[in-house]
Amino acid sequence: MRAVILCVVMILTGCASNGAEVTTSVATVTQPSLSATTQPLVVGCPVEEQFTEGGLIDEFDNTGSDSTKIGLVRWQAEEACETFEIEFETAEGAPATTPPSVRAEFIDEVGVLRISTSAVETVITDQLVETALVKRLYVVRALDGGMFIDLHLAAPTQARIDLTSSPARLKVELQPGIVPYSAQPVTAELIVLTFPSDEATIPTTLNVEGYARGIGSDVAAVAIVGQEGDDLVVEADATTADNTKTWGEFRVALELMPGPVALFVGDRDSDPGGFEGVSIDLVAG
């Protein structure tokens, strides 16, 4: 069994410290917190429903849906308007008729738009996007069931969503927003750390959140403190959602002492005596 290790190093004081160009793509198989606000439209997307920036965008509860799988994701980027279409499939792989339950919201602290669904399978895991508003998307199995799609945003963004039936699809429309994001997720090949963000000031009780890919189901958290950085003070374990076929969500809580912290998140077995993954600097207090 391989695992993720979350290693926290506490560094004590004194230690070293005009024509719009249109592009269309298809996904292939493979810190201030904003309050929820409704913003006026800017030039870009058609003037229909209003856009939301920050917090909950919208949610739909669809019981009895035949959508069990997230299918292909297509997007089209025009000047000041980007449209993402997410297809849903049945368990047999046919186009679904009724979309699943959906909740779309901003994870404001790190500039992520999260689309949670009741689907339980996916045909894609992640995809490089690189439009003006979106850097990359990830499809993640949630700890509490279902799956979510995270759009990692490249710039302040407003959004609105719409569900259609026969075939079942979700349309996400994006246009430039107003309030910049103070942080971004920290990513590596097999790890995405959504919280905390690099150089953040955190409470001494820290909830580490993110998702991992293809490294097993166990997450280990180890806190080390001391001038030499080698005194073990706390160890905690968490279990990720299944990450064998796509990304799996994980969470783990750590109790820290006040002061500077170096946080390492990586694969325990990938490099004996070291860590392969991400590292960030924090201040606990």
**What is the DSSP secondary-structure string of 145-176?**
SSEEEEEEESS-EEEEEEEETTTTEEEEEEEE
Question: Does residue 4 have a pLDDT over 70?
Answer: no
Residue 32 pLDDT class (50, 70, 90 cuts): very low
Question: Does residue 247 have a pLDDT over 90?
Answer: yes
DSSP classification of residue 95: B
Q: What's the Cα-to-Cα distance from 251 to each of 10, 69, 105, 144, 210, rounded to whole Å?
A: 20, 24, 19, 11, 7
CB atoms within 10 A of CB 244: 11
Rounded Cα distance between 284 and 260, Å, is 6
- On average, the pLDDT of the chain sits at 80
Give 59's strand partners: 103
DSSP character string of 271-285: STTS-EEEEEEEEE-
How many residues comprise the chain? 285
Full-model pTM:
0.83
Stretch 232-243: mean pLDDT: 70
DSSP classification of residue 178: S
Query: Residue 136: what pLDDT?
Result: 97
pLDDT in tens, 171-208: 999 999 999 999 999 998 888 999 999 888 989 888 88
**β-pair type (157-164, 169-176):** antiparallel
The structure tokens listed for 24 are 């269309």
Rounded Cα distance between 222 and 158, Å, is 38
Rounded Cα distance between 156 and 283, Å, is 26
Rounded Cα distance between 169 and 181, Å, is 29
Query: Residue 37: what pLDDT?
Result: 38
Which of 13-17, 130-134, 175-179, 188-192 is the least confident region? 13-17
* Cα–chain center distance at 275: 22
Question: Does residue 251 have a pLDDT over 80?
Answer: yes
Rounded Cα distance between 66 and 44, Å, is 34
Q: What percent of the chain has pLDDT over 70?
A: 72
Domains of the chain: 3-16+184-284 (2.60.40.10), 32-176 (2.60.40)
pLDDT in tens, 43-98: 568 887 899 999 999 999 998 899 999 999 999 998 889 999 999 999 999 999 99
Which of 22-26, 89-93, 145-149 is the least confident region? 22-26
Burial (CB count within 10 angstroms: exposed 0-12, middle 13-18, buried 19+), residue 64: exposed
Stretch 110-128: mean pLDDT: 97
Rounded Cα distance between 31 and 29, Å, is 35
Rounded Cα distance between 213 and 211, Å, is 7
Residue 12 pLDDT class (50, 70, 90 cuts): very low
252: nearest Cα among 7, 56, 44, 66? 7
Rounded Cα distance between 277 and 221, Å, is 14
Rounded Cα distance between 275 and 7, Å, is 9
